[in-house]
Amino acid sequence: MGHYLIQSVPAVRGLIVLDITHGAKPVEVSRLKFSDTYQPHWTGWDARTQRLVVTAKEPRLFLVKFDQTTGALSMDDNFRDTDGKPGFNFADREWPHGWKGSGMPHGVVFSR
């Protein structure tokens, strides 16, 4: 986004933002760790709300705020599931179409 590269980094259990204004010398400007186990993989960007949606090989999806001026990442704490934790938990749910079980989010996109 702009002159920033946002990269999911499973090894650090989070996202890293690099300022790539000077491509030969990228600079880390922000990092967001999710937990000790969550290894983010897929991300999708919504320019209108300035948020990323993030999934991993765990049944939880997160929304993350991104400040395009500073490159700062922060958890969208207003997006919480019924368990009170940030994100949406796909594990062991009763779904609206009548099925009960766990879902696993994979690729993600925002739509207009």
| pLDDT one digit per residue (tens) for the chain, 112 residues | 889 999 999 999 999 999 999 989 999 999 999 999 999 999 999 988 889 999 998 999 999 999 999 999 999 999 999 999 999 999 999 989 999 999 888 878 777 6
Contacts of 74 (CB under 8 A, 6+ apart): 32, 64, 65, 67
| pLDDT attached to residue 80 | 95
- Tell me, what's the pLDDT at 61? 94
The pLDDT of residue 108: 83
Whole-number pLDDT of residue 112: 66
